[in-house]
């Protein structure tokens, strides 16, 4: 399933703001995805972490069609590797980032933070810039 499904993230946020002021809550947003070998076996091999842009390249290289799960607000695709093993890749894109940023705004959260900043994700910065007036404050 998705790394941070919007429907599940919202459940956590609803709880968090029920026990503390929303201005004290920051939502984490992943800058990575997972490439799972199928079938997944519990306690078996864990997925390979992939960058968001890397995920798109994997889809292109394998002729995979990127789909979008509305409930989790997350893109994913399936492909078969050269060794004939089937894979599913879940990651973030501009649509999923926008949905998460809207969720943070709707609940009046202090803001968001990103996980795994070492992986490039150009779409994020474009979405962020288009949604918010960003002001750099130096103290």
pLDDT of 44-99, one tens digit each? Answer: 888 999 999 999 999 999 999 999 999 999 999 999 998 999 999 999 999 999 99
Q: Is residue 42 part of a domain?
A: yes
* Alpha-carbon distance values, 100 to 27, 55, 79, 132 (Å): 9, 19, 26, 13
Q: How many domains does the chain have?
A: 1
Write out the residue range of the structural domain in which residue 46 sits.
6-131
Q: Is residue 1 part of a domain?
A: no
Statement: the pTM of the whole predicted model exceeds 0.85: yes
Q: Is residue 136 part of a domain?
A: no
Q: What are phi and psi of 49, to 5 degrees?
A: -75, 135
CATH number at residue 29: 3.10.50.10
Q: Is residue 89 part of a domain?
A: yes
């Amino acid at each position: 399933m998705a790394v941070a499904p919007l429907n599940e993230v919202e459940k956590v946020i609803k709880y968090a703001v029920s026990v503390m002021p929303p201005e004290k809550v920051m939502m984490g947003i992943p800058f990575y995805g997972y490439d799972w070998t199928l079938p997944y076996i519990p306690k078996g091999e864990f997925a390979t972490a992939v960058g968001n842009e890397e995920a798109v390249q994997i889809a292109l290289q394998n002729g995979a069609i990127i789909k979008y799960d509305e409930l989790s607000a997350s893109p994913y695709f399936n492909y078969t590797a050269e060794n004939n093993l089937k894979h599913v890749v879940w990651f973030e894109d501009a649509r999923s980032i926008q949905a998460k940023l809207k969720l943070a705004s709707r609940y009046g959260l202090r803001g968001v933070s990103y996980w795994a900043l070492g992986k490039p994700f150009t779409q994020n910065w474009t979405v962020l810039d288009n949604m918010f007036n960003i002001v750099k404050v130096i103290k």
